[in-house]
Amino acid sequence: MLVKGQPQGINQYLMSEVRVRFAPSPTGSFHIGSARTALFNWLYARHTDGKFVLRIEDTDAARNTEEALEVLFKGMRWLGMDWDEGPEVDGGFGPYFQSQRGEIYKEYLGKLEAAGRTYEKEGAIFFKLEGERYTEFDEYHGKEMEKVRAEPVEIDDAIRGKVVRAETRDFVICRSDGSPTFHFVNVVDDITMKITHVIRGEDHLSNTSKHVELFNAFGVKPPQFAHLPLILKDPKMGKGKMSKRDKGSLIEEYEERHFLPAGVRNAIALLGWNPGDDREFMEIGEIIEAFDIKDIQKGAARFDEAKMAHINFQYLKQLPVESYAWFARPVLTEKGLISEDHNEDHLQRVLMICQEKITSLEALPEFCGYFFRDDYTIDPKAEKKVMKRGNAGELAAQVIASLESVSPDDWNVSGLEAAFTKLAADNGQEKPFMWWPMTRFAVSGVSGGPDFLPMLEVMGRDLVLGRLGKMID
């Protein structure tokens, strides 16, 4: 029981080890909202040196499959959220699948029965509230219903403060087919797994009065609750909270689009939380250190993919080229631009000049394809621009003549620069820039790209000369 006058907050729970849980129901996809809930629990566990428990809420057998479970595990691992207890990691409070905890639920149901807090109706077992009973017409259900004037329960929420709410109807804790319901198993598991902090979505806040009723009936002090603001969908997509069907709502999608897990994780951490200063791009250690429940937002947030892309780019930019190549290689093989065993040194030299120019790995194949293959696409706009000068062939011939004089040993930025400078001087030009756009187009098919001279160096003598030759035709 809470003591009157005692300051509300998390302090009173700091005496014992923090135990939090993420309790998903495997549905076959890993939603941003779920990931955020998981992440906040994980961050809090890491911040407090507590335990992060993964519990699988698979009571609805029809909906749960092996594949669905795999999607969940994969998403968790991809985001780097390891669990201290849960499937494959026994912590002494298992099993961690609700479908395997039948005996425990039976035992706890027995406790409620012994206390006279249950009754059966139409084959289902109801939890019996305490209070005066009366009948009332219910607008929502459109019929007369039995209601209870139960004492309001007080929910101590670390984000919202004290929330008072009264239940008015008995609720089912065991279905007529014998299976226990969410509210019941959730509370029993939190008790038996010694969960100290329940961090979950705000959609559960109204349900929490049911849970507190159950905790009270078991004679157990409820855990510290923290109800996270919901993530709403983009108003252009409709109203309400973001759902699996909304575009951009699934973690899998960002994995497929080659976002960096650290970037996605950083962006998700900022959904309803911030460190209290202007930091946004943060290493995971920094986030763990700064993370605290009290800094979590009350109001709902809208997920903004552009912001996530921006944070992702911050990570991409600061990656050493070796790491960048490690992430980029599968992106390029996937598109058939390079083979599995493509020379690492060449790959890195290409990426070195592309990395600073490009904001996402997703855009990489289109940006650098011409380094690896001859069947690159020609941008009609760039072509038009070059061709309208009318002397493209002539310019190409001059460049070829000039670059042919550069020996393979001198084929580098300074050697190329010297050749172009000479070319300019020989033609009474101060700078060689009039030959550049044509040359760039001839070797890449586009008008933009990496810095010009480094690009030629990396492409190599044969490729550049060969493509310029084709330009004349």
Q: How far is the CB of 17 from RNA (least distance, A)?
A: 25
Q: How far is the CB of 341 from RNA (least distance, A)?
A: 26
Contact 9, 158 (CB under 8 A): yes
Shorter beta-carbon distance to RNA: residue 18 or 174: 174
Shorter beta-carbon distance to RNA: residue 157 or 340: 157
Shorter beta-carbon distance to RNA: residue 177 or 341: 177
Q: Identify which of 70, 93, 80, 79 has the alpha carbon closest to the alpha carbon of residue 21.
A: 93
Q: How far is the CB of 391 from RNA (least distance, A)?
A: 15
Shorter beta-carbon distance to RNA: residue 17 or 266: 266
Cα separation, 209 vs 222, in Å, equals 11
User: DSSP labels for 232-255?
Assistant: EPPGGG-SSB--TTSTT-BHHHHH
Shorter beta-carbon distance to RNA: residue 203 or 410: 203
Cα separation, 127 vs 148, in Å, equals 12
Backbone angles phi, psi at 180, to 5 degrees: -75, 155
Shorter beta-carbon distance to RNA: residue 288 or 424: 424
Cα separation, 24 vs 186, in Å, equals 11
Cα-Cα-Cα-Cα dihedral sign, residues 88, 25, 73, 228: negative
Peptide bond into 95 cis (omega under 30): yes
Cα separation, 213 vs 473, in Å, equals 83
Q: How far is the CB of 304 from RNA (least distance, A)?
A: 4
Shorter beta-carbon distance to RNA: residue 177 or 409: 177
Contact 242, 304 (CB under 8 A): no
Q: How far is the CB of 15 from RNA (least distance, A)?
A: 22
Q: How far is the CB of 444 from RNA (least distance, A)?
A: 9
Q: How many CA atoms lie within 13 A of 325 on its CB side?
A: 18
Q: How far is the CB of 269 from RNA (least distance, A)?
A: 10
Q: Which amino acid is at 26?
A: P
